[in-house]
Amino acid sequence: MIEVNVTQESQLDKVDFNNIPFGKVFSDHMFVADYVDGQWQDMKIMPTSKISFHPSMMALHYGQSIFEGMKATRHVNGQPLLFRPEMHAERLNNSARRMSMPELPKELFLDAVRQLVRIDSNWIPKDKGSALYIRPFMFATDEFIGVRASSKYKFIIITLPVGPYYNKAVKLKVERKYVRAVHGGVGEAKTCGNYAASLLPAQLAKAEGFDQVIWMDAKEFKYVQEVGTMNLFFVFEGKKVVTPATDGAILKGITRSSIIEILKHHDYAVEERKVTIDEIFEAAANGTFVEAFGTGTAALIANIELIQDGDHKIEMTEADWDLSNRMKNYINSLRAGEIEDPYGWVETLNNVSEIAS
């Protein structure tokens, strides 16, 4: 079903795996499929290359464009591993529905990811914490000027080797002017416009010395939503962890859902609910707040060294990052196959039944 056209000019030899610039080095192959006449067709794996488009391509004008971000890692014995790929397939389709785009059959998504990673498995870096980043995305390709849903789409998967994500702790500013997502909007979809809209506030925050902003609810600026491309967790004394409930305006992170399960499995009381920024600052003032961390496929777990709201600051140091560092190690070890996977999240690629092709 998936036609495979293998490259004659592998670029693998040109990559210095000890020093991979993030986001710029692409592996040899990509997967491409076209949605035409109400059907996904022309599925192929081919050498990664440029594609040309008519300037009226609808995605460029009206923004029907969605994506996923996932990673293939290497088992300590060398085998390629995927992490919860079904959840990524499902989330892509949730995004598609919201953006009035066609869903992709889950089996097609999974076959494409598995075959692509197998073909480029030599591109998965060996060092623990590094990975082959997988970027599936879909966009509108009708050549038409006029606002409506496109009738044609392209779905592509490209992959990129990435070194251990820079694990610098982040400084976060509570954003009091701009908002990311409103109820009824598209905050839960992994769609391009959400990121375009976040760039200006992020730049302004960077100019003030922060790394990213904490998005607040768009109505009252009272409840915490998330950060950049990460969900947020707040740790309190007494093995209590709180994370904002996904209410339609927050991206449903797969790392988020995994961390919630891991914490529960380790006897933490995890609360998914509305979280006010005031309660965090109050807990910090009365000494019951321990730390906060971010979760997402790119960084897995990001330590946080500063949360600042106007003149109010919560500062955290290495000594506070006990739980976040343990979670980081745990999830990295899980993804390297070093520890037992009691959740059934890690898929060993060579054991996946071969796809009829």
Ligand X SMILES: *Cc1c(COP(=O)(O)O)cnc(C)c1O
The residues of the shown chain that bind ligand X, judged by CB under 6 A, are: 69, 190, 226, 229-231, 251, 253-256, 295-297
Instruction: Kindly tell me which of 187 and 283 has the beta carbon lying closer to ligand X.
Output: 187
Whether 88 and 254 have beta carbons less than 8 Å apart is answered as yes
Tokens of 54: 């008519």
Give the nearest distance from C-beta 261 to ligand X in angstroms: 13
Sign for the CA dihedral angle at 3, 9, 11, 13 comes to positive
Give the nearest distance from C-beta 167 to ligand X in angstroms: 16
Instruction: Kindly tell me which of 135 and 274 has the beta carbon lying closer to ligand X.
Output: 135
Distances (CA, A) of 240 to 33, 112, 292: 45, 40, 12
d(CA 352, CA 339): 20
Instruction: Kindly tell me which of 141 and 229 has the beta carbon lying closer to ligand X.
Output: 229
Instruction: Kindly tell me which of 132 and 230 has the beta carbon lying closer to ligand X.
Output: 230
Closest CA to 162 of 135, 125, 118: 125
Distances (CA, A) of 159 to 116, 280, 299: 8, 38, 17
d(CA 244, CA 226): 8
Tokens of 289: 């707040």
Give the nearest distance from C-beta 302 to ligand X in angstroms: 11
Give the nearest distance from C-beta 322 to ligand X in angstroms: 21
Give the nearest distance from C-beta 10 to ligand X in angstroms: 29
Give the nearest distance from C-beta 345 to ligand X in angstroms: 12
Closest CA to 263 of 225, 287, 236: 236
Instruction: Kindly tell me which of 150 and 198 has the beta carbon lying closer to ligand X.
Output: 198
d(CA 118, CA 43): 16
Give the nearest distance from C-beta 194 to ligand X in angstroms: 6
Instruction: Kindly tell me which of 47 and 163 has the beta carbon lying closer to ligand X.
Output: 163
d(CA 21, CA 316): 29
Residue type at 127 in one-letter notation: D
Give the nearest distance from C-beta 323 to ligand X in angstroms: 17
Tokens of 174: 């509570």
Residues facing 74 on adjacent strands: 80
Overall residue count recorded for the chain in this entry: 357
d(CA 93, CA 253): 14
Instruction: Kindly tell me which of 70 and 124 has the beta carbon lying closer to ligand X.
Output: 70
Instruction: Kindly tell me which of 45 and 229 has the beta carbon lying closer to ligand X.
Output: 229
| Angle at 116 (CA atoms; ends 193, 136), nearest 5 degrees | 10
Instruction: Kindly tell me which of 295 and 308 has the beta carbon lying closer to ligand X.
Output: 295
Tokens of 138: 């879909």
Whether 166 and 302 have beta carbons less than 8 Å apart is answered as no
d(CA 121, CA 320): 38
Give the nearest distance from C-beta 337 to ligand X in angstroms: 20
